[in-house]
Structure 1
Amino acid sequence: MSTDSPGKDSLKTFSSLKAGGKTFHYYSLPKAADTLGDLNRLPFSLKVLLENLLRNEDDTTVDRSHIDAMVQWMKDRKSDTEIQFRPARVLMQDFTGVPGVVDLAAMREAVKVAGKDPAMINPLSPVDLVIDHSVMVDKFGDASSFKDNVTIEMERNQERYEFLRWGQQAFDNFRVVPPGTGICHQVNLEYLGKTVWQKDQDGKTIAYPDTLVGTDSHTTMINGLGILGWGVGGIEAEAAMLGQPVSMLIPEVVGFKITGKLREGITATDLVLTVTEMLRKKGVVGKFVEFYGDGLKDMPVADRATIANMAPEYGATCGFFPVDEQTIKYMRLTGREEEQLELVEAYAKAQGLWREPGHEPVYTDKLELDMGDVEASLAGPKRPQDRVALKDMKASFELLMETAEGTSGSREANLESEGGQTAVGVEDSYEPHASQPMKMNGEQTRLDPGAVVIAAITSCTNTSNPSVMMAAGLIAQKAVAKGLKTKPWVKTSLAPGSKVVTDYLRVGGFQDDLNELGFNLVGYGCTTCIGNSGPLPEAVEKAINDGDLTVASVLSGNRNFEGRVHPLVKTNWLASPPLVVAYALAGNVRLDLFNDPLGTDKDGKPVYLKDLWPSQQEIAEAVEKVKTEMFHKEYGEVFEGDDTWKAIKFPESKVYEWSDKSTYIQHPPFFEGMGPEPDPIEDIKDANILALLGDSVTTDHISPAGSFKPDTPAGKYLQEHGVDPHDFNSYGSRRGNHQVMMRGTFANVRIKNEMLDGVEGGHTRFVPTGEQMAIYDAAMKYQEQGTPLVVIAGKEYGTGSSRDWAAKGTRLLGVKAVVAESYERIHRSNLIGMGVMPLQFPEGVDRKSLKLTGEETISIDGLSGEIKPGQSLKMTVKYKDGSTESCELKSRIDTANEAVYFKHGGILHYVVREMLKSA
């Protein structure tokens, strides 16, 4: 229970300040230091956590030992103390938000069945849900693209939007930002974030740091505004909404010192790709990263937010920037009230949260970057941390083609980055497939290997940053003036994260030129970055398939995992918006943009990238045209929606009226038969292996978000329920229907199950008969036999998006445990939140050393005793010949709270049981 009460003040820290003509009360860190000792060099991010503990001290969930542990951190620079963090608010997007609201509705149903008031299931913390993940690039390249895509989106997602409209009226503290407004992280940065939160209590106004958790991994973008927040699974976010604290170990904090300035022609995107590469190489999974150094003095919040956004890509929990003059400057530009700005500055300075020149906190570890060393870069072909210098792109792709593991659907290029050097996994060499003839726009042409078939200015990462967006506009303007055209096979799109971008591109005079090159507005949403790239033109798809061509996408996003952007596009490259435009003109990543022309001008003369690239002065002059009035205009009625949204009809009831006919929203089975006490946990005996997986298996591999085909289990299910393949929509949009999602679990077209030789896609071997079949079909057969299942994997299991269905689907398939070499933070937490045990191999032991083929049975002992954080459990492998081998596994239940959740079969089960007990 949170106290937040001025009356409870064991450290005598309660104080007050005046700002904006008003008195605010707060829990003072300097006053606490009188008792605790000097706190000045505690990292800023940990100061925010310390204030959270001081404010919520209740001698139950937070006591003096937790506060003392934060102080001790400065001496040890790490800690194994578990703390309870209570964020001020929760942020959701619709792909994760719909299943979150489905869970809340199912919890209300469970409470109703138990004979209690269902209204007890209600958010206690403010929740904002932004509908941004549903728009797809069905139409592109003309003036009606935006209108057409919005119309299709509303038709396609009618059931989902009716459900969200129901949730809007059924739950308190729950706001919905309608479709066509922007991306949740950009809306958060430009409008929702306050940096200092406040609430009235006991006749006083309490001020405290704005903090949040979000159901999208890129929630970290808000760290650029001095707001501590990070992504959690939908399951964990739902618990936070319902008053449960976020259980965490006090993190290690890695300090990243920024010095110098970017050189002429280098963008914020180049900077962030460099930072991502450095931090992923350093190893910061599960840690906080905090940026410091005098290079921050002139770094605008837009650049900071670009870096903070990519925290999931470098593996950190968050990438935090402290409050300073740049914070205030950005908040003023984006239309925050002057009273709020006064409060932010006064509070940050009073609490020691204001960055002062030369200040250097104590960190667990450090690294440093002189921004003058950053060069023009991309990242790919399938991981955000694999940076490639622009000057090396041609050679990098040629090397990829020469030494790829294979050329057809079962094998693909595997370019990895190790120790800053490019290393290529080699199986065999081959001749690149020949280019394919095709007809585009009535003209005969050819599609070559390396062709850029998607060029997308997309994603909150870069479209929130006026400098790179204006740079893209300037390149388009110069290209059009010289008579250049986009290559006909390139699918172009512009999907900004907020309507403000449209305003300033128009005022800058760039939108017409972008339109001329095919970068018409297609929607305000994530689009290509999350796999909503839509279909390629038929001629392009046919040429790719006929020639088994390795082609490329170039996007200004943050994710380029296998099979994510488009199932036919094997190499995907992250780049700045101006480079996206440049590659649309070039048409192929095999060009050396430093030396090869992008095209020819009206006089037939070659035009090079250097002829189009804008100067810093040109960009700065364009950015000056971004005005506060634009933000006031676009955010004035942000929660209203258009007439179509307002006209949606929905049931006005506290308990949702489920429909068996819906293919989008179904009553999930998680609470069926749930008793007042959890069932005892049993050891796992003679489990079969459902999938044997390698390294860097992402949540996209486990639970895809993109399109799917009619012959998949999900496609067959929808067709059986009267849905035409044209209306399948995406896996992400179907997350409110567990029947679709469990069929889509482990169904990515690029996932490789090592139980099958050279086969890609969601298949496995059903061991009792030796048959190859879809993973879903095999799991259902095992369930019929009462056979438990496990998944075996390599390093970095669960990398990527905070995708709760990657855990929910795993549970519904009957998987009792996952055994991996290491885990990414969010997915590990999600598995526990769904009652699936994450286990870790000891050093030197893995699936290869155990010689696993998938035909073995697995037994795990020790689960039937007391569940404790980090305990050892014994795994026994029984081989086909009857021999056995055993090893000790480490439980990755890391905290006492997680142990409680696991014993209850999941975090939501625990919450419902606790609420029923107290009712």
Structure 2
Amino acid sequence: MADSFATRAQLDVNGKSYTYFSLPILGQRFDLSKLPYSMKILLENLLRHEDGGMTVGKDHIEAVAQWDCKAEPDTEIAFMPARVVLQDFTGVPCVVDLAAMRDAVTKLGGNPNQINPLIPSELVIDHSVQVDVFGRADALELNGKIEFERNLERYSFLRWGQKSLENFKVVPPNTGIVHQVNLENLARVVMGREVDGVLQAFPDTVFGTDSHTTMINGIGVLGWGVGGIEAEAAMLGQPSSMLIPQVVGFKLTGKLPEGTTATDLVLTVTQMLRSLGVVGKFVEFFGEGLQHLPLADRATIANMAPEYGATCGIFPIDAEAVNYLRLSGRSEEQIALVEAYAKAQGLWHDANSPHASYSATLELDLAEIKPSLAGPKRPQDRVLLSGMKDNFHANLEGLTANRPARKTEVKRMDAEGGDQPQAEHLAAKPKSNIRIHDQDCDLNDGSVVIAAITSCTNTSNPAVMLGAGLLARNAARLGLKAKPWVKTSLGPGSLVVTDYLKKAGVMDDLEKLGFFVVGYGCTTCIGNSGPLPDEVSKGIAENDLVVASVLSGNRNFEGRVHSEVKMNYLASPPLVVAYAIAGTVDIDLTNDPLAHTPDGKPVYLRDIWPTNKEIGDMIAATVGPELFAQNYADVFKGDSRWNQIASPEGESFQWDESSTYIKNPPYFDGMTMQVGSIDDVHGARVMGLFGDSITTDHISPAGNIKKDSPAGRFLQARGVQPADFNSYGSRRGNDDVMVRGTFANIRIKNLMFGGEEGGNTLYFDKTGSVGEKLAIYDAAMKYKADGVPLVVFAGKEYGTGSSRDWAAKGTNLLGVKAVVAESFERIHRSNLVGMGVLPLQFHAGENAKSHGLDGSETIDVVGLADGAAKTATIVARKADGSEKTFEVKVLLLTPKEVEYFRHGGILHYVLRQLAARKAA
């Protein structure tokens, strides 16, 4: 390990001596006084990992130390997180790859025990529970039973990983949501760890396989969401390349006014930052307003970083962070290390801390925050509570524009003065009469059919959770209830929340309004909202009603919450309860009665809204370290269901060939120690010709598996009935399912067929005769049998969306050698490289259309020069023999990426390194 600037120093705390790399010592050479907190974290990371230039060199350290806040990002650096956190949807394929690598390294002469995460890697099972049962006392038990039945194979596999892999731990189901568990228990803030035999202290930094990993930024931990491939690389000791970012400062002043919540604040912050534009940037919060902002409020703001588009949304370490560590039951030894290290490194924030220099700055007075929601389709579209009724009507018009007019019978006076029924087309407000829970009800446009207290964004925050409980208490005392057509659910986010709701005595009140605990997972926020009652579904379909959900989540994209619900609004937990009582979003809760008491008296929202003092007093009386200590004492142990799962034993996983959930992937089939080269591509066919904004959802769907899709046909051939398909997300451990789902999204448009939707392409046999229309998977397998490589052409922003590893893995397994796009999303480009698929970029102003491509061509990619070339030439040949030649950029951006690519991908590179080490 190099130390060009001689920053190695000692820190004595808790009777131990820690080695650390001192920023103040470096500050004697460079002026670091104006460097943002997050940049100091990056700088320390480089100091600690300096290796003479192979990964981190002196010039990288100087580039960050002399950071120009106004400069456009153009300098690449390597970042090594201290740990990795995973959720089960994205974590299962990571563990599958590790198991497959154990098999492969054995065949290469190595030892399976060589394959282990090199840094702490913790997986929280939180994405699998669904709200099948709700509104009853046994909902938690029954949903848990269904969850285990659906996911037994996956859970058995994860138990094998828990027992067999070093540095890998699993938080079992029914414990909590990954980011909440991370905040409440897993985060160290400062790591104290032995590295190469030396006890070191360094900042806790984290990669997570979920976008909202940024929640941990609220306690001063730098981290963000990455794709599974990037996470695996970090687990195996490989650096992640990134451009030195710009940092936007967000100054907070004042304090929140009466009647507002952290949710109202974060929706305002999200709207402001989206308007500014912070994609690819860090956001850092500062200002005197921090002293009035509890840690849980900070975590709520940090959680939403993906929604305002930033890489992270970070707060500094200060007294409030230390208070939270103590509140959440962290040891006094750990707390002392955090405080001592932060102060020694100049990372501690207090009223006298100098303000940093930022690339841009926003300012918000917390006193100006007003009650808000966001929707009905995007989290950045904030709506004042007072404007909700108008917002609903404005959006309703667009959603009902193509709905047929209803034929309504009206009475007209005839010539003799009598009534004469006549049928007329009127713009009458449609409604469906349903009978549910022994009540006759009317469903209308705007009816709230889902009211869900869900998502770590808010469930981690005692103020809004106890606020919801107090509102429920006040409502129950007046005899108010949720409307019978509303599917109510409470997903507390962690066992701690349930305990303090019970201790406060408000759980009974929430249950009186139908908010029974349904599970400890993401539930409705990720679309695991479960089916609506049959009566409600039929009522919606009968008149094509535009109904709504109100949830305390962080995402409300179209179709995400429930396929039958067209309007989805994000709101604080108290407002979720309020809208469940109102039963509609076609209401102004600031002026209209929320409901009426059994004796007919109007009740307004202001009548039942708790005061800030009531909420604060209840937090002080109920939330304490003992709740965290008792609930996290055996966090990795699990309940009886978990511990009764049978799982394979041994260093290597015993694959079950009949499994449709877990399968040994073919990435390493036939692999040898011989490193390959980056060769030109000849005679390729075009698999897809796509336009702009092809997302990872388009490339690798996460939702339902269609019965007549390639994946659906495969599962049925294996004896799986459609009712048991589960989702693509739950089957990410089986490449047979996932490769068939790649490019199978029903909304994707292959421009070979104009504007037609669906995952199809044209297959040309070796004669080059007229193309045959086939599903992309089916065509790809025919091409593979023919020995024909494939390429994809696309427009701008290829691979945006969730950083889904299967979007790259599936592309590789289909036989795609190169993707040529106008621009790429950063993580997806990196994932393609990591899976051995070459990303190529059109020159500015050029695209497939400008070059006259229609998808019928054969393609050569030449001039790659084994990765030495910055540009390559594409030769496109038409059936008539005419050619079109143009140049593209080769997006292998660093020497390390070139090396990965020669090996066939990052996992192949690591395998050969480990096998060679064993052989030596």
State if a TM-score over 0.5 links the two structures. yes
Cross-structure match for 2:908: 909
Q: What's the offset of the Cα at 1:204?
A: 5.2
Q: What's the offset of the Cα at 1:595?
A: 3.1
Q: How does 1:342-357 map to 2 (within 5 A)?
A: 342-357=336-351
Q: How does 1:869-884 map to 2 (within 5 A)?
A: 871-873=870-872
Cross-structure match for 1:271: 265
| Alignment-mate amino acid for residue 703 of structure 2 | G
Counterpart pick for 1:396 among 391, 397, 418: 391
Q: What's the offset of the Cα at 1:578?
A: 1.7
TM-score by length of 1: 0.90
1:670 aligns with 2:683: no
Q: How does 1:829-868 map to 2 (within 5 A)?
A: 829-845=830-846, 855=855, 857=857, 859=859, 861-862=861-862, 864-867=864-867
Cross-structure match for 1:554: 550
1:768-787 per-residue CA deviation (whole Å, 9 max, x = no partner) reads: 76776544344444545555
Cross-structure match for 1:658: 655
Counterpart pick for 2:14 among 20, 45, 62: 20
1:619-660 per-residue CA deviation (whole Å, 9 max, x = no partner) reads: 222222211111011001111111221122222111111111
Contact 1:451 1:589 in 2 (8 A): yes
SS in 2 for 1:95: helix
1:798 aligns with 2:799: yes
Counterpart pick for 2:50 among 33, 57, 64: 57
1:214 aligns with 2:200: no
Q: What's the offset of the Cα at 1:258?
A: 1.8
Counterpart pick for 1:366 among 361, 370, 376: 361
User: Mean Cα displacement is larger for which, 156-165 or 192-201?
Assistant: 192-201
**Any unmatched runs of 5+ in structure 2?**
405-425
Structure 1 CA distance, aligned partners of 2:860 and 2:271?
A: 37
Cross-structure match for 1:415: none
Counterpart pick for 1:469 among 461, 465, 470: 465
Structure 1 CA distance, aligned partners of 2:285 and 2:222?
A: 13
Are the structure 2 counterparts of residues 345 and 139 from structure 1 closer, same or farther at C-alpha, using a change threshold of 3 Å?
A: same
1:734 aligns with 2:731: yes
SS in 1 for 2:161: helix
Structure 2 CA distance, aligned partners of 1:841 and 1:266?
A: 49
Q: How does 1:214-613 map to 2 (within 5 A)?
A: 214-357=208-351, 359-404=354-399, 407=402, 434-613=430-609
Contact 1:858 1:875 in 2 (8 A): no
User: Mean Cα displacement is larger for which, 521-530 or 766-775?
Assistant: 766-775
Cross-structure match for 2:415: none
Counterpart pick for 2:33 among 34, 40, 46: 40
SS in 2 for 1:73: coil
**Any unmatched runs of 5+ in structure 1?**
410-429
Contact 2:447 2:548 in 1 (8 A): yes
Contact 2:760 2:775 in 1 (8 A): yes
Counterpart pick for 1:124 among 103, 113, 118: 118
Are the structure 2 counterparts of residues 749 and 455 from structure 1 closer, same or farther at C-alpha, using a change threshold of 3 Å?
A: farther
SS in 2 for 1:381: coil
Contact 2:69 2:358 in 1 (8 A): no
Contact 1:402 1:431 in 2 (8 A): no
Are the structure 2 counterparts of residues 904 and 568 from structure 1 closer, same or farther at C-alpha, using a change threshold of 3 Å?
A: farther
Q: What's the offset of the Cα at 1:588?
A: 2.5
Q: What's the offset of the Cα at 1:394?
A: 2.6
Structure 1 CA distance, aligned partners of 2:682 and 2:588?
A: 56
Structure 2 CA distance, aligned partners of 1:312 and 1:560?
A: 13
1:523-549 per-residue CA deviation (whole Å, 9 max, x = no partner) reads: 111111122212222222233334333
| Alignment-mate amino acid for residue 36 of structure 2 | P
User: Mean Cα displacement is larger for which, 751-760 or 248-257?
Assistant: 751-760
Q: What's the offset of the Cα at 1:151?
A: 1.1
Structure 2 CA distance, aligned partners of 1:733 and 1:529?
A: 16
Question: Aligned residues, how many?
Answer: 889
| Same amino acid, percent of matched pairs | 59
TM-score by length of 2: 0.90
Contact 1:96 1:216 in 2 (8 A): yes
Cross-structure match for 2:105: 111
| Alignment-mate amino acid for residue 806 of structure 2 | W
SS in 2 for 1:153: helix
Structure 2 CA distance, aligned partners of 1:263 and 1:794?
A: 46
Structure 2 CA distance, aligned partners of 1:478 and 1:495?
A: 21
Structure 2 CA distance, aligned partners of 1:531 and 1:170?
A: 32
Are the structure 2 counterparts of residues 872 and 399 from structure 1 closer, same or farther at C-alpha, using a change threshold of 3 Å?
A: farther
| Alignment-mate amino acid for residue 685 of structure 2 | A
RMSD value over aligned CA atoms? 2.9
SS in 1 for 2:19: strand
Q: How does 1:760-799 map to 2 (within 5 A)?
A: 762=759, 774-799=775-800
SS in 2 for 1:323: coil
Contact 2:33 2:354 in 1 (8 A): no
Counterpart pick for 1:196 among 184, 187, 190: 190
Structure 2 CA distance, aligned partners of 1:775 and 1:407?
A: 32
Q: What's the offset of the Cα at 1:806?
A: 2.2
| Alignment-mate amino acid for residue 42 of structure 2 | L
User: Mean Cα displacement is larger for which, 838-847 or 20-29?
Assistant: 838-847
| Alignment-mate amino acid for residue 397 of structure 2 | E
Q: What's the offset of the Cα at 1:522?
A: 0.7
1:182 aligns with 2:183: no
Cross-structure match for 1:716: 713
Contact 1:562 1:750 in 2 (8 A): no
Cross-structure match for 1:420: none
1:645 aligns with 2:638: no
SS in 2 for 1:229: strand
Are the structure 2 counterparts of residues 744 and 442 from structure 1 closer, same or farther at C-alpha, using a change threshold of 3 Å?
A: farther
Cross-structure match for 1:688: 686
Contact 2:254 2:292 in 1 (8 A): no
| Alignment-mate amino acid for residue 610 of structure 1 | R
Cross-structure match for 1:745: 742
Structure 2 CA distance, aligned partners of 1:636 and 1:721?
A: 42
| Alignment-mate amino acid for residue 916 of structure 1 | A
| Alignment-mate amino acid for residue 810 of structure 1 | T
Contact 1:459 1:558 in 2 (8 A): yes
Contact 2:250 2:285 in 1 (8 A): yes
Are the structure 2 counterparts of residues 79 and 329 from structure 1 closer, same or farther at C-alpha, using a change threshold of 3 Å?
A: same
Q: What's the offset of the Cα at 1:317?
A: 1.6
1:730-775 per-residue CA deviation (whole Å, 9 max, x = no partner) reads: 2211111111112223344555556557765545666876776544
| Alignment-mate amino acid for residue 200 of structure 2 | I
Are the structure 2 counterparts of residues 241 and 686 from structure 1 closer, same or farther at C-alpha, using a change threshold of 3 Å?
A: closer
Structure 1 CA distance, aligned partners of 2:230 and 2:512?
A: 45
Contact 2:69 2:359 in 1 (8 A): no
Structure 2 CA distance, aligned partners of 1:583 and 1:317?
A: 33
Structure 2 CA distance, aligned partners of 1:847 and 1:548?
A: 40
Contact 1:458 1:528 in 2 (8 A): yes
| Alignment-mate amino acid for residue 807 of structure 2 | A
Q: What's the offset of the Cα at 1:859?
A: 4.1
Contact 1:433 1:547 in 2 (8 A): no
Q: What's the offset of the Cα at 1:790?
A: 4.3
Structure 1 CA distance, aligned partners of 2:82 and 2:846?
A: 42
Q: What's the offset of the Cα at 1:328?
A: 0.6
User: Mean Cα displacement is larger for which, 823-832 or 65-74?
Assistant: 823-832
| Alignment-mate amino acid for residue 666 of structure 2 | P
Contact 1:150 1:523 in 2 (8 A): yes
Q: What's the offset of the Cα at 1:18?
A: 3.0
